[in-house]
Amino acid sequence: MVATTVDIFTSLWSIFSTLGVLVGVVVMAYMVYLIVRNRAKPEGPEPEDAPKPGELPREQKGAKKLLISVILSASIVLTLISLTFIALDNLDRPPAGAMEVKVIAFQWGWKFIYPNGYESIGELRIPRGTPVKLYVTSQDVFHNMGIISLRLKVDAIPGKTNIAWTRVYETGVYDIRCFELCGDGHGVMIGKLVVMDPEEFNSWYSSLQVS
């Protein structure tokens, strides 16, 4: 099977979260270790270089230690940037042969225009396995079309058309929600993406009466 938007996101997400948790745990464990080890004991002496009242600030030398730490972080960060760019290339390049659907967001709902000109509100039907390319815009305010379970999100901006794509290998119903505050009805601006068996989809699609 070819990669879907879900696959692209999931693989990147797992790398980021593994590294993120790892770095976080190591740094915090080290911090806690230092705190526990160096907690002041009543009999403990002052460190030799303890700052004295009225002194100008001094510093602990440590450029080398810091440099090593930062180079380490930099290498992690560079890896993350390159992985991001690779993922981005795939996200920016919709597969060929996609079904093209126009999406118009409005206060507060979604309108879909199919290639044959058929328009529907609130529900988008697509065939399983076929890539779908969405041309998303808005007729009033800034919305954001998100199908979170498909890891798909795109801004719907008046006067501008943004493109997103997905391909779903499982039939089912997925929530479409608005992810940008757009007024009183923002919370209920919910649509449905219905992924159908290709044959069922074709028979439904060819039966449509388009004026």
Partner 1 sequence: MDSHQLPPSYSIKRWLLTTNHKDVGILYLVTSLYFLILGGVLALIFRLQLAQPGLNILSPPAFNQAVTIHGLVMVLFVVSPLAFALANYVVPLQIGARDLAFPRLNALSYWLYLFGGLLVMISFFQDRTLDVGWTLYQPLTSVFSPYVGVNTGGLGLALLTASVTVSTVNFVVTIFRSRAKGLRLTALPMFTVGVLLTVLMMLYAFPALLAGIILLASDRILGTVYFTSPQGGAILWDHIFWFFGHPEVYIVLFPALGVFGDILVTFSRRPLFARRIIIAAMVVVATLSFLVWGHHMFLTGMHPDVRRAFTVTTIAISLPFDAIILSFIYTLAKARIELKTPMLFVLGSIAIFIIGGITGVFLGSIALDYVLRGTYFVVAHFHYTMAGGALVGLIAGVYYWYPKMTGRMFSEKLGRIHFILTMIGFNTLYFPFFLSWEMPRRVPIYVESLVPLQQIATVGGFIFGASFLVMFWNLLYSLRYGEPAGSNPWGAHTLEWMTESPPPPHNFDGTPTFVDGKLSFIAANGAAHGEPETHLSRWPFMLSLASFLALLGLTTHLLVSVVGVGLLAFSVLGLAGERFISREEDLGERWPFERVDRMKLAWWTFISSEVVLFGVILSAYVYVRTASSTWPAPGTLLDIGHGAVNTFILLTSSLTVVLALASSRMGSRTCTAGFLAATLGLGILFLFNKYNEWSELFSHGITFSSGLPASTFFLTTGIHGAHVFAGLLALGYLFARALKGAYVGKGHETLEYFGYYWHFVDIVWVFIFPLFYLV
Residues 21-50 that bind partner 1 (CB under 8 A): 23-24, 27-28, 30-31, 34-35, 38-40, 44-47, 49-50
Pairing of strands 132-138, 99-106: parallel
Footprint of partner 1 on 51-110 (CB under 8 A): 51-63, 65-66, 69-70, 73-74, 77, 80-81, 83-85, 87-88, 91-92, 107
Greatest Cα pair distance, the chain, in angstroms, is 90
Q: How far is the CB of 208 from partner 1 (least distance, A)?
A: 30
Radius of gyration of the chain (CA): 27
Q: How far is the CB of 85 from partner 1 (least distance, A)?
A: 7
Footprint of partner 1 on 150-169 (CB under 8 A): 151-155, 157-163
Nearer to partner 1 (CB atom), residue 64 or residue 116: 64
The set of residues, in sequence order, having a beta carbon less than 8 Å from that of 177 and lying 6+ positions away, is 146, 147, 148, 189, 190, 191
**Residue among 125, 146, 167, 191 that touches partner 1 (CB under 8 A):** 146
Q: How far is the CB of 106 from partner 1 (least distance, A)?
A: 11
Footprint of partner 1 on 176-195 (CB under 8 A): 177-188
Q: Are 105 and 139 in contact (CB under 8 A)?
A: yes
Q: Are 125 and 202 in contact (CB under 8 A)?
A: no
Q: How far is the CB of 71 from partner 1 (least distance, A)?
A: 10
Nearer to partner 1 (CB atom), residue 124 or residue 147: 147
How crowded is residue 114: how many other Cβ atoms within 10 Å of its Cβ?
18
Q: How far is the CB of 150 from partner 1 (least distance, A)?
A: 9
122: tokens are 């609130």
Q: How far is the CB of 75 from partner 1 (least distance, A)?
A: 11
162: tokens are 């943004």
Nearer to partner 1 (CB atom), residue 57 or residue 97: 57
Strands lying side by side in the sheet with 109-113: 119-121, 109-113, 99-106, 132-138, 162-166
